[in-house]
């Protein structure tokens, strides 16, 4: 379905780096906002990351415009303030207090644009820890996620920057709500989202378990499953698959399709709770059954039995996933430097509309002239900023 993007006409100025802020901006950009990423004249430092961070810039900065500007020089500051006067939203995720020290805190910007929604993304919401620096991995440790992910004594961070992304997502959610509130009142204001409170939100189910059971849950590798068959199994072709049999009906269908009449007739396995008690001998028996089939055979039979199945995939396997390719979930993207790939779109549809890729991640200063012209600079003014070294390359 074709429809007008819901945030069309909203101008966002993004002063961010790494993942937390850029993910918030990406969501707003995907929803149709004009997101202007203000970078240093030599580019966002995230562009230069290697190792685990090499994909950060290319993934979290699509659908944005790049203005490479020396915003700390007096001439550059004037440009930034003029841009902010025309903006609906500012996003920033710098260290606590650093924006206020630069004269760009919410108390300063309210004076030049009282309609501005100021989205501050930090490590902690207001409280005793609010001035502490934080990282995704720091709050995974502090909030119990790392403890719950690894086995006892071996806390392990999740395999992606899950808290940065969630913090950015809640920042975007709060920003959209603040824009709606501004429509009612005519005034902008401060929106805050934080890493620590995001991971605590994810730990809520474990807090509830602790309250109900009177004891804290063990890490996930040692958890007591609510279902008897809920495991990773090895296959005949040396692959791994996850199988979850979560109801008595699924157990009956498993026994029928996999031709396990003996298990179907065993009165010790009649209910899920009985099968849980039988896990010490049942799980090895089921593992032996699956070891006799290839991964593709197990998938075919699991679908026939209508039981939950998944191969244990690696991230690179997603490039060619048939479901993602068929429904357009991966958008063809050209990364800075010319690398071509396919990357995920936002994981939702609205009235049949999927937020699309409109533009690839920008080169440094790719939109300098267009952004400056939109806020009133003519060719002579832009040339003067260039000659003064206020603008990055383009």
Active-site annotation, residues: 164
The answer to whether residues 166 and 196 touch, using CB atoms and an 8 Å cutoff, is: no
Is the CB of residue 241 less than 8 Å from the CB of residue 232?
Answer: yes
CA–CA separation, 21 and 133 (whole Å): 15
């Amino acid at each position: 379905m074709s429809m007008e993007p819901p945030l069309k006409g909203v101008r966002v100025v993004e002063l961010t780096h790494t993942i937390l802020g850029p993910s918030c901006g990406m969501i707003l950009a995907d929803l149709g906002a004009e997101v202007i990423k203000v970078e240093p004249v030599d580019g966002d430092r995230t562009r230069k990351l290697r190792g685990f961070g090499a994909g950060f810039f290319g993934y979290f900065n699509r659908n944005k415009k790049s203005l490479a500007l020396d915003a700390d020089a007096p001439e550059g500051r004037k440009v930034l303030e003029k841009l902010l006067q025309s903006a609906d939203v500012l996003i920033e995720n710098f260290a606590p207090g650093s924006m206020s020290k630069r004269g760009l805190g919410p108390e300063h910007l309210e004076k030049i644009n009282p309609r501005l929604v100021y989205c501050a993304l930090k490590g902690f919401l207001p409280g005793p820890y609010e001035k502490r620096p934080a990282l995704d991995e720091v709050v995974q440790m502090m909030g119990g996620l790392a403890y719950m992910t690894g086995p006892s004594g071996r806390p392990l961070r999740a395999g992606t920057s899950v808290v940065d992304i969630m913090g950015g997502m809640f920042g975007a959610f709060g920003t959209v709500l603040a824009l709606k509130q501004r429509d009612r009142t005519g005034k902008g204001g401060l929106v805050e989202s934080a890493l620590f409170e995001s991971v605590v939100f994810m730990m809520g189910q474990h807090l509830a378990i602790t309250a109900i059971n009177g004891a804290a849950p063990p890490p996930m590798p040692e958890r007591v499953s609510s279902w008897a068959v809920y495991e990773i199994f090895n296959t005949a072709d040396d692959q791994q698959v996850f199988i979850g049999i979560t109801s008595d009906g699924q157990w009956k269908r498993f026994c029928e399709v996999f031709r396990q009449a003996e298990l179907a007739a065993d009165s010790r396995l009649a209910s899920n709770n009985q099968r849980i008690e039988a896990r010490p001998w049942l799980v090895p028996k089921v593992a032996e059954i699956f070891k006799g089939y290839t991964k593709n055979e197990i998938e075919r039979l699991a679908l026939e039995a209508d039981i939950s199945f998944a191969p244990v995939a690696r991230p690179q396997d997603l490039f060619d996933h048939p479901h993602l390719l068929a429904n357009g979930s991966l958008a063809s993207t050209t990364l800075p430097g010319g690398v071509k790939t396919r990357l995920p779109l936002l994981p939702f549809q609205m009235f049949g509309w999927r937020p699309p890729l409109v533009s690839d991640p920008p080169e440094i200063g790719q939109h300098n002239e267009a952004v400056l012209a939109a806020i009133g600079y003519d060719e002579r003014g832009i040339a003067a900023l260039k000659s003064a070294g206020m603008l990055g390359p383009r």
